[in-house]
Amino acid sequence: MNKAETEVLLERYLQGKANADEAALVERWYLKEADQQVLSDAEGFEHLRSEIWLSVRTQAGLPLQKVKRGFRFNYRYAAAALLLITLSLGLILYVNQYNPFGSDLKITRLIGKDIAPGKNSATLTLADGKTIALSAAKQGVVINAAALTYNDGTLLSSDVPEPYEVAKRTIQISTPKGGQYEVVLPDGTRVWLNAASSLKFPVSFAGSLSREVDLSGEAYFEVAKDKSKAFKVRGSGQVVEVLGTHFNINSYEDEAAVTTTLLEGSVKVNAAVLVPGEQSILSKRGLIHIAPVAVDQVVAWKNGAFQFDETDFASIMRQLERWYDVEIKYKGAVPDIHYTGRIPRKSKISEVLEMLEETGSVRFKIDNRTVFVNKR
């Protein structure tokens, strides 16, 4: 883009006439400059915005021009990042869903083949040991005593093992790395399984004093209310007990602790009782700590996003390993850096890594399904 074209683009943006891709390009410039700015207590956001805009024009080789009063930055692509600028946190992870920059991506120059994001993928293991690969074109499966169906009503299998309705016979649904799936249990409870997770449950809760399931990995639960039968989730050294509520459990073996986060209702984790907005943290030594937590960040995976709030680098890499089914290898020590921002889980891995590189602290290289990490 030459000088004249850049001038036209900036003016179109200020006048609110830029299309989505044009606006995203300008905002990328803006945020890269914002990353170099520091806002003192004596300065307002209007001053910061003006200074950044002048820097953008300077970098583009255009004459200096104060930003017009009343100018409002477009928050569609970077509201979270601008909030961080205002608070002077200094670290910005910029997310652009449209990604109009094509050949400018640093990561794509380092790879021969990109890696697509995860998808709907799971295996159902029936009570008789038979396994069924669930359709990637479907979002979920419904388990009841009459039949196995997808959540759109499509019959999954007419070959239901007998006696299907007998209690204490179990079914297991498992997702691989790079997979996710939803399951509706016999009592109507809805469960969303994250990548590399599994849930084991009886084919019927009839005749049981409680509704008990076993979880490995991560899942989000919306428990069907039944005051006569508590719902219990077992796994990784804890038992979560509820009557009807919404909560998330992360019990991956490679994480430092098992976390249970309550969004709605009330749950008891071992002997600790949570209220909405709280998270229990069960250490490997069996100690439980209760703390308030940003629930939106915890369940972002269910809503199609990675969301970070001063999240450490190693934790982010573990999330990418599970969702993209890759292996992370470090050249040297694990970088001691943290990120804040939101990235769509539908992004290709090159897009995610390029966003992480924007901070200037690390560089990545992809070789087949291995991601190499280098500190800068």
pLDDT tens sequence across 31-47: 555 544 444 434 444 44
Distance CA 180, CA 140 (A): 9
Tell me the backbone φ, ψ of residue 8, rounded to 5 degrees.
-65, -40
What are the phi and psi torsion angles at 10 (to 5°)?
-65, -40
> For the chain, what is the mean pLDDT?
79
> Where do the domains of the chain lie, and which CATH numbers do they carry?
3-76 (no CATH), 119-298 (2.60.120.1440)
Question: How many CB atoms lie under 10 A from the CB of residue 126?
Answer: 19
Q: Would you say 322 and 195 are in contact if contact means Cβ atoms under 8 Å apart?
A: yes
pLDDT value for 206: 85
pLDDT surpasses 50 at 195: yes
- Mean pLDDT value of segment 290-297: 94
Of the pLDDT bands very low, low, confident and very high (cuts 50, 70, 90), residue 114 is confident
Query: What confidence score (pLDDT) does residue 327 get?
Result: 97
Within 8 A by CB and 6+ apart from 49, the residues are: 67, 71, 73
pLDDT at 355: 85
What mean pLDDT comes out for the span 83-98? 32
What pLDDT digit, counting tens, does each position of 305-340 carry?
A: 999 988 999 999 999 999 999 999 999 899 999 988
Between residues 287 and 108, which one has the greater pLDDT?
A: 287
Query: How many CB atoms are closer than 10 A to CB 19?
Result: 10
The larger pLDDT score, comparing residue 74 to residue 97, is at: 74
Model confidence at 147, in pLDDT bands (50, 70, 90)? confident
Structure tokens belonging to residue 208: 């049981």
Contact 320, 349 (CB under 8 A): yes
Alpha carbon separation from 284 to 96, 218, 252 (Å, rounded): 38, 17, 12
Query: Residue 128 pairs with which residues in a beta bridge?
Result: none
1-14 pLDDT, tens per residue? 555 676 677 677 66
Give yes or no for residue 85 having a pLDDT over 70.
Answer: no
Share of the chain above pLDDT 90, in %: 52
Identify each DSSP E strand in 18-151 by its residue range: 119-120, 123-125, 131-133, 140-143, 148-150
| pLDDT band at 360; cut points 50, 70, 90 | confident
Give the confidence band of 55 by pLDDT, cuts at 50, 70, 90: low
Find the Cα–Cα–Cα–Cα dihedral 73, 78, 80, 84, rounded to 10°.
-70
When pLDDT is averaged across residues 291-303 and rounded to a whole number, the result is 95
Is 0.95 topped by the overall pTM? Answer: no
- Give the DSSP H or E segment for 47: helix 45-59
Nearest to 331 by CA among 370, 288, 375, 294: 375
Reported confidence tier of residue 273, pLDDT bands at 50, 70, 90: very high
- Distance of alpha carbon 107 from alpha carbon 22, whole angstroms: 22
Q: What is the pLDDT of residue 300?
A: 95
Q: Is the pLDDT of residue 263 over 50?
A: yes
Secondary structure of residue 54 in the 3-state scheme: helix
Tokens of 142: 């419904």
Pairing of strands 148-150, 211-222: unpaired
Scan for tokens 């669930």, then name that residue: 134
Write out pLDDT tens, residues 240-253: 999 889 999 999 99
Contact assessment for residue 183 and residue 173, using Cβ atoms and an 8 Å cutoff: yes
Instruction: Express as a percent the part of the chain with pLDDT over 70.
Output: 68
